[in-house]
Structure 1
Amino acid sequence: MDSRHEAERSWTIDAARRLWALYEPVHALTYFAPAALAGAGPLGGSFWARYVAQRAAPLGQAPTAVVVAAFGGFAPDRIADALAGVAPDTTPTEALETRLRGVDAAWRELPGLPDDAVVTEAADLAWAAAQACEDAGRVLGAANRALPRPPAPHLALWQATTTLREHRGDGHLAALAVQGIGPVTSHVLKVAARESPGRDLRLGRRIPDDAWTAEVDRLSTRGLVRAGPDGEPVLTDDGEALHAAVEDATDRAAGRPWEVLGAAPTDRLAALLEPIAAAARTVVPPLNPIGLPRR
Structure 2
Amino acid sequence: MDAMLARDMWKATEPLHTVTYFAEECRTANKEVGLKGYWMGYFGSRGAPLGAVSAGTIEATFFGFHPARVRRAIPDAWGFASPEAILRVRGEAAARALRRAFPGIDDVAATAAPQLREVVLAADGAGRALFAANRDLPVPEDPVEALWQAITALREHRGDGHVALLTGEGLTGLEANVLASAVGTVKAEWLLESRGWSQEEWDEAADALAGRGLLEQGEATDEGRGLRARIERRTDELAASPYRVLDEPEALYESLVPAAKALADEMPFPNPIGLPRVG
Q: Which TM-score tier does this pair reach, normalised by the shorter chain? A: over 0.9
Contact 2:52 2:78 survives alignment (8 Å)? no
Contact 1:196 1:288 survives alignment (8 Å)? yes
Equivalent in the alignment of 2:66:
75
Contact 2:44 2:78 survives alignment (8 Å)? no
Equivalent in the alignment of 1:47:
38
Contact 1:75 1:206 survives alignment (8 Å)? yes
Matches within 5 A, 1:26-175: 26-42=16-32, 43-86=34-77, 88-111=79-102, 113-114=103-104, 116-175=106-165
Give 4+ residue runs of structure 1 displaced > 6 Å after superposition: none
Deviates more, 1:156-165 or 1:186-195: 186-195
Equivalent in the alignment of 1:261:
246
Deviates more, 1:235-244 or 1:169-178: 235-244
Could you tell me which amino acid in structure 2 is paired with residue 192 of structure 1?
A
Equivalent in the alignment of 1:6:
none
Give RMSD over aligned pairs: 1.8
What displacement does 1:67 show?
1.9
What displacement does 1:119 show?
2.4
Deviates more, 1:100-109 or 1:282-291: 100-109
Where does the alignment leave 5 or more consecutive residues of structure 2 unmatched? none
Distance 1:220 1:252, change over 3 A: same
Distance 1:114 1:150, change over 3 A: same
**Structure 1, residues 46-79: CA drift from partner, whole Å, max 9, x if none?**
1110111111100112222222211111122221
TM-score, scaled to structure 2:
0.93
Deviates more, 1:88-97 or 1:239-248: 88-97
Number of aligned residues: 277
What displacement does 1:84 show?
4.6
Contact 1:110 1:279 survives alignment (8 Å)? yes
Contact 1:22 1:274 survives alignment (8 Å)? yes
Deviates more, 1:99-108 or 1:53-62: 99-108
Equivalent in the alignment of 1:285:
268
Partners of 2:114 and 2:252 in 1: CA distance:
9
What displacement does 1:226 show?
4.3
Contact 1:175 1:246 survives alignment (8 Å)? yes
Of 223, 238, 244, the match for 2:229: 244
TM-score, scaled to structure 1:
0.88
Partners of 2:161 and 2:95 in 1: CA distance:
28
Of 185, 193, 217, the match for 2:183: 193
Equivalent in the alignment of 1:18:
8
Of 262, 268, 275, the match for 2:258: 275
Could you tell me which amino acid in structure 2 is paired with residue 144 of structure 1?
N
